[in-house]
């Protein structure tokens, strides 16, 4: 089965109350594997500009039909924090809002959003 090189971006940025993270995971049987550790992945660190802690571009070899999950996590209702304050005294245990989106690689090698969580 041929694979497509899927481009994904993972990032962590300073935001109000802490950090916002976007990560990607690939479905492997009943488990989810971080796309950054997927076999054959190519990683490229990128400069993201002000407020970006780290940013990476991933090129992940995936066959048509592969299922991915995008996870966006950000602080919930936290007091305003200056980016420098975050770097010096990051709070632990902050309530976080987590949103998950699901995608499938189509026959043309493009990601299609799924309307429901895959079973």
Q: What pLDDT band is residue 107 in, cutting at 50, 70 and 90?
A: very high
Return the bridge partners of 43, or none: 58
Which residues touch 35 (CB under 8 Å, ≥6 apart)? 8, 10, 23, 24, 25, 26, 41, 58, 60, 68
Percent of the chain residues topping a pLDDT of 70: 84
Q: What is the pTM of this model?
A: 0.81
For 98, half-sphere exposure in the C-beta direction (CA atoms, 13 angstrom radius) is 9
Q: How many CB atoms lie within 10 A of CB 29?
A: 6
pLDDT, residue 1, reads 63
58-94: pLDDT as tens digits: 999 999 999 999 999 998 865 555 666 656 665 556 6
Q: How many CB atoms lie within 10 A of CB 106?
A: 12
β-strand pairing of 18-28 with 31-34: antiparallel
Q: Which domains does the chain have, with CATH numbers?
A: 3-113 (2.60.40)
Q: What pLDDT band is residue 45 in, cutting at 50, 70 and 90?
A: confident
């Amino acid at each position: 089965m041929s694979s497509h090189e899927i481009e994904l971006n993972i990032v962590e940025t300073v935001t109000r109350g802490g950090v916002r993270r976007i990560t990607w995971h690939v479905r492997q049987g009943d488990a989810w594997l971080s796309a950054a550790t997927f076999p054959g992945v190519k990683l490229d660190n990128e400069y993201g500009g002000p407020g970006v802690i780290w940013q990476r571009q991933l090129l992940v070899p995936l066959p048509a039909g592969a299922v991915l999950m995008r996870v966006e996590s950000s602080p919930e209702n936290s007091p305003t924090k200056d980016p420098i304050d975050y770097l010096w005294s990051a709070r632990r245990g902050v309530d976080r809002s987590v949103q998950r989106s699901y995608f499938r690689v189509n026959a043309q090698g493009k990601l299609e959003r799924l309307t429901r969580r895959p079973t």
